[in-house]
Structure 1
Amino acid sequence: MNLEELHSLFLQHPDVCTDTRKITENCLFFALKGPNFNGNKFAKEALEKGAAYAIIDEESYKLSDKYVLCDDVLETLQKLSTFHRNQCKAKIVSLTGSNGKTTTKELIHAVLSGKYSTIATKGNLNNHIGVPLTLLSIKPETEIAVVEMGANHKREIAFLSSIAQPDFGYITNFGKAHLEGFGGVEGVIQGKSELYEYLTSNNKYVFLNADDPIQMQKLDSYVKKIGFSTTNHQYFNITYIEANPFVVLEVEGTSIKTQLIGKYNFTNCCAAIIIGKYFGVPLEEIKIALEAYQPQNNRSQVMSQSGFKIVLDAYNANPSSMQVALENFKEMEGDEKSLILGDMFELGSEAAQEHQRIADLAKGLEFQEVFLVGENFHLTETPFRKFKSFEALKDYIGQNPLKKGNLLIKGSRGMALERVLDVL
């Protein structure tokens, strides 16, 4: 079966599943392989659960004409998604960056949805599997697809760009994330910039933060760029008002009061504003969308529990996001402020230095209590209480209740520090 024939089959069965636990009636099941599993072994189960066809790449599993044999299931999924993307009218807006990708994607989606039929990457399904699945979720009526791209090595963004073939793109920032895979900060800049390289080489539009010197340098001579700035009047001006704790900004005389904490979310809002403006969304509609958006999934959520006012930012962490989170938390109203910080992952040879730097920063900002969790933080030289594991922290809190007040909880996804809520 060639790609065009497979696409015809997909149009008849537009739901795609890669997990037999999530099979929907009449879907196409793609039997992907991983380090510890072979999807071909689950093809029969997928069909029994209601899948219309199973796409496999090992002939021994082909038991009927309900099995579609190909050379490589993953490669077929990727090629099918690109083929489908090129059959659709939807414009593709892609974004990447070290921090804030998912929040920015959700803000852009919220703003554009006020005027257009818009879809966006679900959750953070932003890799070599997630991007194709997002493209395959584009319907005939979809006008704009907001596609998030993640990477932890060079050339990944270039590859994802070749799959999605975006019409527009934006990079949130260049920070200290995935240093191990990228080989340092310069590698991060090179890797994330692959999105801009794709767009400029294909004469596509680029959105940028004109206050970011790296972005300005990369796009200095490129004509098709649309930027925002707080100071440079050559670009669309947006004024930062405050983040105490929620971001307030002003654009064209209109005040927008968001439900996002932290000055670091200001630029995320700015990106959504200029993209909305470019696509002709009225400012009043942009304001409504930004003010209604509430962060979820442990991303900078503000909540009250057991006498604490908690900032839960436990979805992920790297040195850049950790620094701005601590600095912003210090600036928030209130005197009694404590921290529970978890290890930052994928830092390679930089791990010891970066964890020590964050511990020193926390000490310099003079918080009430600081608790450091994880093997990397446990090795730091600091006066704070350190715990090798979450279980050790849990046991301590059980016997030594924390002082009430404001509490920031932040760590990498693997630390799952949202579990602290059950302990408090």
Structure 2
Amino acid sequence: MTIPELHSLFLKSPNISTDTRTIGANCIFFALKGDNFNGNKYGAQALEKGAAYVILDEKEYATSNTFIVVDDVLQTLQELATYHRNYCEAKIIALTGSNGKTTTKELINVVLSKKYKTTATRGNLNNHIGVPLTLLTIKKDTEIAIVEMGANHLEEIAFLCKIAQPDFGYITNFGKAHLEGFGSQEGVIKAKSELYDYLIRNDKSIFMNADDSVQMAKLSGYIKKYGFSTEKQRFHKIEFFGADPFVKLKTEDSIISSQLVGSYNFTNSAAAVLIGKYFNVSLPDIKAAIESYVPENNRSQIIKKNSHKIILDAYNANPTSMEAALQNFDAMGNNPKVAFLGDMFELGKSAAQEHQYIADLVAKMNIEKVFLIGENFFEVKTAHQKFDSFEAISSYLEKESLPAKSHILIKGSRGMALERLLNLL
């Protein structure tokens, strides 16, 4: 079956599933394979649960004409997504970076949805499977789609650009993330800049943080760039107006008070303002959108529990985001401060050095109690308390209490699942 023929079926059954646990009626099930699973084996189960068709690549599992056999299920999903992207008329804004991708994507979406019919990446489905699935949520009347792109190795962003074919792009920053796959921060810059490379090669528009020296250098001489800056006059001026704990920004004599914790969310918010202005969303609508956005899913959430104010930022962590979170936390108020810091993953040979750097950094700050959790933090040299596992810190907290009315920061990589601390505080 050709991609145009498959697309005709998709238009009649416009829901895609790759997991039999989430089968919807009249959907198309793509039987993906991985290192530890084979979706072909679950095709019959998908039909029993209501799927209209099953796309598979192992003929022995095809027992009726509702099974469509292709050479490669994943490649077919990706090609269908590109075909559908071109079938629809939506403009695509691609978004990548080391930190802040998902928050920035959500902010851009709430701003643009004030004027346009939009769709955006759900959660952080931003890889070679998630990007096609996002593209396949675009409707014929969708005007703008915001597509998040993640990567942990070189050439991944370039590949995702071939699938999504973006009209616009924005890179949040170049931080110390996924160093295990990229090798160094220079590798991170090269990998994330693959979005720039695609857009420049195809004469597309780029949104940028003009205060970021790396972005300025990369885009020197490129005409179709639109930036924000706290001071450079030739770019859209957006000023940082404080963060204690919520970030505020000022543009055109209007102060926008977000519900996002920390100065590190300034650039995320500023990007949404810039892109809203580019697409002619009114400033009052931009302000209303950003001020109404409340983060969730363990991303810089403010939680009040007993007498404590907790900043839960446990969705993910890398050295750059950890340092930014700590600097912001150190500057907050006069209440007793307590930090629970969990291991940062995917740092490869830099892991020991980066964890020691964070331990040394936090030792210089005005934070009364610091608890370092995980195998990497357990190896650092520090006067602060260390725990090699979540179970160890759990046992400690069962016997000890924290100062009343504490400000508490919880931050670590996703694999540490430090949100579990909430039940112990």
On whether the aligned pair clears a TM of 0.5, the verdict is yes
Aligned to 1:75: 75
Q: Counterparts in 2 of 1:176-195, with a 5 A limit? A: 176-195=176-195
- Cα deviation for residue 232 of structure 1 reads 0.3
Q: Offset of 1:106 from its aligned partner?
A: 0.1
- Report the CA distance between 1:401 and its aligned residue: 1.7
Distance apart, 1:79 and its partner CA: 0.4
Q: 2 CA distance for matches of 1:398 and 1:345?
A: 27
Rounded to whole Å, the distance in 2 between the matches of 1:332 and 1:387 is: 26
TM-score by length of 1: 0.99
Secondary structure at the residue paired with 1:329?
helix
Q: 2:420 corresponds to which residue?
A: 419
Taking the TM superposition and a 5 Å limit, the aligned residue runs for 1:221-236 are 221-236=221-236
Aligned equivalents of 1:47 and 1:54: distance in 2?
Answer: 7
Q: Aligned partners of 2:403 and 2:341: how far apart in 1?
A: 16
Tell me how far apart the structure 2 counterparts of residues 236 and 374 of structure 1 sit (CA, whole Å): 43
Residues 134-168 of structure 1 deviation map (CA, whole Å, 9 limit, x = unaligned) = 00000111000000000000100000001000000
For residues 152 and 137 of structure 2, the distance between their equivalents in structure 1, rounded to whole angstroms, comes to 25
C-alpha separation in 1, matches of 2:161 and 2:414:
26
Report the counterpart of residue 332 of structure 1 in structure 2: 332
What displacement does 1:104 show? 0.0
Alpha-carbon offset, residue 306 of structure 1: 2.2
Residue aligning to 1:215: 215
Which of structure 1's runs of 4+ aligned residues deviate more than 2 A? none
For 1:245 and 1:197, how far apart are their aligned partners in 2? Answer: 37
The match for 2:170 is 170
- Corresponding residue of 1:410: 411
State the 1:335 CA deviation.
3.1
Matched residue, 1:238: 238
1:348-398 CA-partner distances (Å, limit 9, x unpaired) = 000000000000111011311000000000000001111110011000000
Q: Separation in 2 of the partners of 1:18 and 1:332?
A: 44
Q: CA deviation at 1:402?
A: 2.2
- Which deviations, in whole Å up to 9, do the C-alpha atoms of 1:12-66 show, x marking residues without a partner? 1000000000000000000000110000000000000000000000000000000
Instruction: Please report how far the alpha carbon of residue 85 of structure 1 lies from its aligned counterpart in structure 2 after TM superposition.
Output: 0.2
Amino acid at match of 2:244: N
Farther off after superposition, 414-423 or 299-308: 299-308
Q: Map 1:344-355 to 2 at 5 A.
A: 344-355=344-355
State the partner residue of 1:292: 292
* 3-state DSSP of counterpart to 1:418: helix
Letter in 2 for 1:346: E
2:199 corresponds to: 199
Give the match for residue 143 of structure 2. Answer: 143
- Secondary structure of 1:33's match? coil
1:115 aligns with 2:115: yes
Q: What residue in structure 2 maps to residue 26 of structure 1?
A: 26
Deviations 1:113-141 (A, max 9, x none): 00000000000000000000000000111
Unaligned runs of 5+ in 2: none
| Whole-angstrom CA distance in 2 between matches of 1:94 and 1:333 | 37
Structure 2 residue identity aligned to 1:155: E
Q: Which amino acid aligns with 2:281?
A: V
CA-CA distance at 1:304 after TM superposition: 0.7
Corresponding residue for 2:399?
399
Secondary structure of 1:248's counterpart equals strand
The Cα of 1:192 is off from its aligned counterpart by 0.3
C-alpha separation between the residues in 1 aligned to 2:118 and 2:396? 47
- What is the one-letter code of the residue matched to 2:303? M
The alignment partner of 2:376 has SS state of: helix
1:307 positional shift: 1.8
**Paired amino acid for 1:154:** L
Which amino acid letter does the alignment assign opposite residue 12 of structure 2?
Q
CA distance in 1, matches of 2:233, 2:409: 36
> Which amino acid is the alignment partner of residue 111 of structure 1?
V
Q: Provide the secondary structure at the position in 2 that maps to 1:383.
A: coil
Q: Output the CA distance in 2 between the equivalents of 1:184 and 1:328.
A: 26
Q: Take 1:196 and 1:269, find their aligned partners in 2: how far apart are those partners?
A: 21
Alignment deviations for residues 193-232 of structure 1 (CA, whole Å, 9 cap, x no partner): 0000000000000000000000000000100000000010
Counterpart-to-counterpart distance in 2, 1:402 and 1:339: 11
CA distance in 2, matches of 1:18, 1:116: 29
**Deviation per CA, 1:288-311, whole angstroms, max 9, x where unpaired?**
000000010000011110221100
Supply the distance in 2 between the matched residues of 1:145 and 1:367 (Cα, whole angstroms).
Answer: 42
Rounded Cα–Cα distance in structure 1 between residues aligned with 2:29 and 2:287: 41
> CA offset at residue 333 of structure 1?
1.1
- Aligned-pair distance for 1:415? 0.2
Q: How much has 1:239 moved relative to structure 2?
A: 1.0
1:232-278 deviation line (CA, Å, top 9, x unaligned): 00100011110011111111011111101111100001100111111
Matched residue, 1:318? 318
Post-superposition shift, 1:11? Answer: 0.5
Offset of residue 177 of structure 1: 0.2
Q: Which runs of 5+ in 1 are unaligned?
A: none
In the superposition, the TM-score normalised over structure 2's length comes to 0.99
Alignment RMSD: 0.6
Task: Write the distance in 1 (CA, Å) between the matches of 2:162 and 2:353.
Answer: 36
